[in-house]
A = this chain, B = another copy of it.
Amino acid sequence: MTSERNRSTGRPTLDEVASRAGVGRGTVSRVVNGSLQVSTRTREAVEQAIAELGYVPNRAARALVTQRTDSIALVVPEPGERFFTEPFFGRIVQAISAALAGSDLQMLLMIAQSPQERQRLEGYLTRQHIDGALLLSLHGGDDPMPVRLEERGVATVRVGRPAHPGPACYVDADNRGGARKAVSYLVERGRQRIATIAGPLDMSVGMDRLDGYRDVFGAGPMALGDFSEESGAVAMRWLLEQHPSLDAVFAASDTMAAGAIRVIKESGRRVPDDVAVIGFDDSAIARHTDPQLTTVYQPVEAMGQEMVRLLLAKLGGESLDSYEVVLETHLVVRDSA
């Protein structure tokens, strides 16, 4: 079940201003933008409505009368190598691209990792080049980019719940619920010594998938990875050394699960007979492991569509500064568990 929640503090919309002033949206925009094509009386009515409602005009309202840039940014604040090796990025970029296919908005993909690159990017984004920005994979709760962009009038939608609480417009998968389903399935199948390979804990996606494991199994054997296949292999090697009798592992990504399967087999154990493995993502790699991977499906395509829908709504003047859409996840049973 998809959950959708507007946690807005009640900031008034352009429509509410127009309604209260008894004028159209375009008229409000013209007043906000200082157009001379508005009569003094109308201007005063709009200004009064703005004052009464405490309306703060945003970039989208301005764009109604100023020239639109006809483009949106898709920002990837990640190392380029990670962008090209982590399957999530390819899937969501294609989903967003598909969601924009019917629009007249050009998608501009921007990769920025180093502080210098990020500074240049922020400058570019706030110099009126784009209508809005979709932000992918923000590590940590202290990333100032989304807040700075919003402050400077760039409408933004993020993927992934921010690690620290605060107003944000984002789309996420139910990572915690998905992890619970995976670990519950292992328990139901009689597994008793279930370890987990967690993702980075400065990202909500890493934290949520670990919390789901703990919800069901409590504090079991845990190792940390960075979502890469190699990190999954290293983590699995360590887990087998420390807990040679474990009979299952829940990895927080398919790539880490693939690394884990390789190490389990190298140790002479069978998957799933000796050690069951469940991943997370249901990416293409899940059908190429041997045995094929049981994993948690996250609806990346729908997440991309939702991000576009929310951004277009913001550009249309809707007040979604504190808005979340969380899409359901489910277990896909194959051969590894």
Contacts and interface: CB of A to CB of B under 8 A. Distances in A.
Interface of A: 69-71, 80-81, 83-85, 89-90, 93-94, 97, 101, 104, 106-111, 114, 116-117, 120-121, 124, 127, 129
A108 B111 contact: no
Given A97-B80, A104-B120, A110 B111 contact: no
A171 to B, nearest CB: 19
A83 B84 CA distance: 9
A80 B90 CA distance: 8
19 contacts: A69-B129, A70-B124, A70-B127, A71-B124, A71-B129, A80-B93, A80-B94, A84-B90, A84-B93, A84-B94, A93-B111, A97-B117, A101-B116, A106-B110, A106-B124, A108-B109, A108-B110, A109-B109, A109-B111
Given A80-B93, A80-B97, 10 more contacts: A81-B94, A84-B84, A84-B90, A84-B93, A85-B90, A93-B111, A97-B111, A107-B111, A109-B110, A129-B129
A69 B101 CA distance: 25
Between A89, A101, A108, A121, the greatest number of chain B beta carbons within 10 A of the residue's beta carbon is seen for A108
A84 B87 CA distance: 8
Contact of A106 (B69, B94, B107, B120): B120
Determine how many copies of this chain the complex contains: 2
A130 to B, nearest CB: 9
A114 B69 CA distance: 22
B114 A101 contact: yes
A283 B265 CA distance: 27
A110 B110 contact: no
A112 to B, nearest CB: 9
A117 B69 CA distance: 17
Between A81, A85, A106, A110, the greatest number of chain B beta carbons within 10 A of the residue's beta carbon is seen for A106
Between A70, A93, A120, the greatest number of chain B beta carbons within 10 A of the residue's beta carbon is seen for A120
A152 to B, nearest CB: 16
A107 B75 CA distance: 11
**Which 9 pairs between the two chains have the least Cβ-Cβ distance?**
A84-B90, A109-B109, A80-B94, A106-B124, A108-B108, A80-B97, A106-B120, A97-B111, A106-B121
Nearest to A71: B124
Contacts of A108: 108-110
A177 to B, nearest CB: 28
A116 B106 CA distance: 11
Contacts of A109: 108-111
A52 B22 CA distance: 64
Contacts of A124: 70-71, 106
Contacts of A89: 84
Contacts of A97: 80, 111, 117
A72 B221 CA distance: 49
Contacts of A121: 106
Contacts of A84: 84, 89-90, 93-94
A127 B114 CA distance: 30
A255 to B, nearest CB: 14
